[in-house]
Amino acid sequence: MSINSNDGSLHQMQLFPVVEVVSDDIPMGVLNDGTPYLTLYGLAKLCGIDDTPLRVFTSNWDTEKNKPRGQKVAAYLAEKGLHNVDRLYTRVLNSSNVETHAYPDYVCMAILRYYALDAANFDRSVAIGNFVRLAEYTLKRMIYEKSNYNPNASIDTSFENYRARIKLNDQIPTTHFAVFREIADIAMNLIGGGFPMDDTTSLDGSVGIHWGKYWSANGLSERFGERVQHQHLFPENYRQSAANKYITAWIYPIDALGVFRKWLHDNYAMEKLPNYLGNKKLSNASELLESIKKPALPNKH
């Protein structure tokens, strides 16, 4: 959504969303010209106000911009070099073919700034909280960019390490399953939350030990058949790779997979994993545990 250099109005080019998401109950997205935007409801939610008065204010910008509130918003836009803006949003069709108002990021910040700093006779707590949060986020991002620091570098490396291990160990007989492959759901959630996956951590090793004990203690081989040893490989950047030709891991009869998956969530994830993460001294262990909880089926009426 570009700005006309002559009169500061928003171009009425053919714009449409290429990305649409809802985060923290705030609808947002990106238009095909690269402009990030919030919907009317999203902007109202950000400011802590009802969307009806906001719709009236922004739809009647021609007259509102000459009133105290509009003058403040216009002044904030002018600070960004956006003078004489004649409309605050563009009508676009979303993916459901419904017309929506797309408010560009700079308009959103100008309006949020007004409700956070200037609005009278109004509970500004939501607007202030969001304004401060966005300011902190922007400062953090600026420091990262100026320092050429990628805060996600360790997560990216962990994902690559895990993917490399999956590729090396994808030749499991169809008659059996491997613990390493079956913990992918938990592993990916943990990595996304900041859990390091490298040659010093062995989540599958921890799961494998506890599952092996459960398997033996409950005589599951009598029910499903014997488990067998199968080659397990590590990537070259893992120290363990030096012993690849000697390393094996248990694989289990495929008929026991349902039992394993239930045990993995109900027993390991809920009872054993907290201790494992605690030993790793991760500051966000509680958040990691929350991320892997499975929803229950709704009650039948």
Q: Alpha-carbon distance 256 to 225, whole Å?
A: 9
Alpha-helical runs (H) found in 118-174 = 125-146, 153-168
> Is residue 198 within 8 Å of 235, Cβ to Cβ?
no
* Residue ranges per structural domain of the chain: 17-146, 153-291
Please tell me the predicted confidence (pLDDT) of residue 5.
Answer: 38
Please tell me the predicted confidence (pLDDT) of residue 152.
Answer: 66
Residues in the chain: 301
Question: Helix (H, G, I), strand (E, B), or coil: what is residue 38?
Answer: strand
> Is residue 106 within 8 Å of 82, Cβ to Cβ?
yes
CA 212 to mean position of chain CA atoms? 34
Report which residue type is found at 215.
W
Record the tokens describing residue 156, joined without a space.
């990216």
Q: What is the mean pLDDT of residues 173-190?
A: 90
**Does position 10 have pLDDT exceeding 50, yes or no?**
no
pLDDT digits (tens, 9 = 90+) for 39-84: 999 999 999 999 999 999 999 999 999 999 999 999 999 999 999 9
Please tell me the predicted confidence (pLDDT) of residue 281.
Answer: 72
One DSSP character per residue, 230-267 reads EE----TTSGGGGGGGG-EEEEEEGGGHHHHHHHIIII
Please tell me the predicted confidence (pLDDT) of residue 274.
Answer: 87
Q: What percent of the chain has pLDDT over 90?
A: 58
Q: What is the mean pLDDT of residues 163-190?
A: 90
Nearest one of 15, 61, 58 to 35, comparing CA atoms: 15
> Is residue 241 within 8 Å of 226, Cβ to Cβ?
no
Please tell me the predicted confidence (pLDDT) of residue 73.
Answer: 97
Q: Which of 137-151, 157-171, 254-268 has the lowest mean pLDDT?
A: 137-151
pLDDT digits (tens, 9 = 90+) for 234-253: 999 999 999 999 999 999 99
**Does position 282 have pLDDT exceeding 70, yes or no?**
no
